[in-house]
Amino acid sequence: MMEKKTNGEVSPAMKPQFAGNFETGKVNRTPLWKKFVTQRHLQTMALLGVVWMIIFNYIPMYGIIIAFKEYNIVKSISEAPWVGLANFKEFLADDNFVYVMKNTLGISLIKLLIFPLPIIFALFLNEVRSVRFKKSIQTISYLPHFLSWVVLGGILATWLADIGIINNILMALHVIDQPISFLAEPKYFWTIIITSDLWKELGWSAIIYLAAITSISPEMYEAATIDGAGRFQKMWYVTVPTIKGTISILFILAVSGVLNSNFDQILVLRNSLNDSASNVIDYYVYYTGLLSARFSYSTAIGMFKSVISLILLLIANQVSKKLNDTSLF
């Protein structure tokens, strides 16, 4: 038992719990260099990552100034003449601006609308009682994520060909009379993009939600069971409210990335026949910058996209903070 002092002093048993000199109230602080020496192996690994980030992420940011210049590879960036906002004005007045933005926002907003699907998948997967069946479903749903879009794009191109399995099935079911060239028809492109992206990323996107669900105390479910809640009621009134912080953070990031259309996927599945539905900002930057060598113009487009993404991030973060006290910062 801890000894009690009647004169206001603290017993010796309590002193080891405090760092530093208890009588003077001073805390002994280890010098920073001593901490670094003690953690030298860990700090060295972290330092390598910091150096890599500085070299490949921060130093190249100097080149963003070519968005305000008329740059070409013959002259250096410093020698290129300044043109101000001319490149941005040209993009906004470009004939391609309208349908590039329409395709980008159309694909991204549909992906945003199906944002709850991984949450629903995680909720139902968590309710599976058979461990073997649950692991099988997880493996099957995660597997496409580890395949690159080059591989999946080749698979989809084969399946969606005139003599592919999709046409064969539809014709066998008498849904269609003649084969359809799905990748040659712009009206099917958005559906193919959304469906294939969902197929590839559904299981992987659910991992974070499953991790958040596993942190929920079993006592909360036991209390809900005592109150007479069924499985769906426990999902709605216990699981969802508990992981709403995770949902909010991921939704904020999804909103900020609304102008991202998954360049790898678009590049693999697009062609000249579906160009009217597949020409998004990311591909337009690639086309104007690398294929047409208009470096300043493409940099201006990329900067325009980044600024809009930053504004969307700030708005979504502020709205989330007001609604449920959850935010990135």
- pLDDT of the residue at 1: 38
- pLDDT of the residue at 19: 46
Mean pLDDT (whole number) for 270-294: 92
Q: Where exactly are the structural domains of the chain?
A: 69-324
Cα angle 172-175-177, degrees, rounded to a multiple of 5: 80
Mean pLDDT for all residues in the chain: 87
- pLDDT of the residue at 192: 95
In this structure, are residues 236 and 285 in contact, taking their beta carbons and an 8 Å threshold?
no
- pLDDT of the residue at 111: 92
pTM exceeds 0.75, yes or no: yes
- pLDDT of the residue at 298: 94
Q: Does the domain formed by 69-324 have CATH 1.10.3720.10?
A: yes
- pLDDT of the residue at 38: 86
Cα–Cα distance, 170 to 15 (Å, whole number): 79
- pLDDT of the residue at 26: 54
Mean pLDDT (whole number) for 116-133: 92
Contacts of 85 (CB under 8 A, 6+ apart): 68
Cα–Cα distance, 283 to 262 (Å, whole number): 9
User: Residue 27: is its pLDDT beyond 70?
Assistant: no
Cα–Cα distance, 29 to 31 (Å, whole number): 6
- For residue 110, how many other CB atoms are within 10 A of its CB? 14
User: Residue 114: is its pLDDT beyond 90?
Assistant: yes
- Burial of residue 187 (CB within 10 Å: 0-12, 13-18, 19+) is exposed
- pLDDT of the residue at 156: 93
Task: Name the helix (H) or strand (E) containing 128.
Answer: none
Sign (positive/negative) of CA torsion 34, 38, 44, 47?
negative
- pLDDT of the residue at 10: 46
- pLDDT of the residue at 327: 83
